[in-house]
Structure 1
């Protein structure tokens, strides 16, 4: 097992000791996560939503784990000794199918209707995550840099870049980004995935969140 796999974790104890048997209500979810140097795949024991489990900031039992260099320079290798992962060690986690508990569409729509969508680029070295972030009215994207009870923020229709290389499963549309790694936030044009170019002339009025941040 390579040394210093996880650089922000709280020691080997959380990673190598076998976790307690899962309590009632815990289910196994296939996960795909990224640290600073490694991509991990396997199964994670979660209760409720994946984001809720990560935001508890407690070591999470994992099984059937394999890893590979994040830059794609090597193939996946089984890691049978890896029994748990600390959420602080994960920079990006793919939220694939099954990451949400059963809920009717009306309930999910009610949760979405009160949020404002922003097309953003989140710089979480060594990754750059492009996609849509939904925030409550009155909240601004730059507030994602502040400390919060929520360690991870969901990014919809996400593209995860490692340098110029797109990493992860391109069919996974939602990823969770660890806010403690985010060092910069930029508004982007969803069509080009780049910063929007200012139009010639004077603005007609109104102030964007980027104007207020200057």
Structure 2
């Protein structure tokens, strides 16, 4: 299996309080679809998880897979069965696509509680050779650039995602709720307009008064 041969693994730092708590209703193992992107390959198959897929990845443990197929990342060849691949190391995954079945079964009130204290940022994450555009939810006082810093959370969820390879959009399916991006691969973060995937254009002219955000920084 051509992933992570000889790669030195880092010991996971202590988990942040409450960061990986799973809903009790999701503690029973259940099968979900797996769709992961590495530096050279796309992998599809199935896996068994409890709780959220994001929490499973953030445990940094090898993931058992079944019914695996793979294809080159650039789409130059179709998917082929890969029966020899029975597990994958999260350190080898740049992006994992999360569908509706991979989220914890939270009620409406619980979903609101999870989001109420977070702020949405539309961003482009550079994780060579991929570029992921979408929305991240961060705690007040946090900035998107903070995703480049060391954290106990190995993967970050990007909702409303699109994934790009050398300017060409990668097909991640129609039911992708989020792209879970491996922060170890991040090399750049910028705030963008989701409609274009590019930085917001600076309007011509000069400010009419007051203090601009550029002056505050």
Q: What band does the TM-score fall into relative to the shorter chain?
A: 0.7 to 0.9
TM-score when normalising by structure 1: 0.85
Note if 1:193 corresponds to 2:197.
yes
Note if 1:177 corresponds to 2:174.
no
Structure 1 pair 116–98 and aligned structure 2 pair: CA distance change class (3 A): same
Alignment match, 2:151: 148
1:189 and 1:196 in contact (8 A); partners too: yes
Give the Cα–Cα distance (whole angstroms) in 1 for the partners of residues 151 and 105 of structure 2. Answer: 27
Alignment match, 2:12: none
1:122 and 1:182 in contact (8 A); partners too: yes
CA RMSD of aligned residues (A): 2.1
Partner SS, residue 33 of structure 2: strand
Give the Cα–Cα distance (whole angstroms) in 2 for the partners of residues 113 and 168 of structure 1. Answer: 31
- Deviation of residue 28 (structure 1)? 1.4
- The count of aligned residue pairs is 197
1:127 and 1:163 in contact (8 A); partners too: yes
Partner SS, residue 141 of structure 2: coil
Give the Cα–Cα distance (whole angstroms) in 2 for the partners of residues 194 and 37 of structure 1. Answer: 25
- Deviation of residue 168 (structure 1)? 2.9
TM-score when normalising by structure 2: 0.84
Partner SS, residue 144 of structure 1: helix
Structure 2 counterparts to residues 4-23 of structure 1, below 5 A: 4-6=2-4
Give the Cα–Cα distance (whole angstroms) in 2 for the partners of residues 10 and 97 of structure 1. Answer: 33
1:62 and 1:82 in contact (8 A); partners too: yes
Q: Deviations over 1:86-127 (max 9, x none)?
A: 111100000112011222111111111111111100000000
1:159 and 1:170 in contact (8 A); partners too: no
Structure 2 counterparts to residues 1-214 of structure 1, below 5 A: 4-6=2-4, 25-171=28-174, 172-203=176-207, 204-207=210-213, 212=217
**Structure 1: gaps (5+ residues):** 12-23
Q: Deviations over 1:52-94 (max 9, x none)?
A: 0000001011111000001000011111121111111100000
Structure 1 pair 7–199 and aligned structure 2 pair: CA distance change class (3 A): farther
2:154 and 2:184 in contact (8 A); partners too: yes
Q: Deviations over 1:33-54 (max 9, x none)?
A: 1000000000112121000000
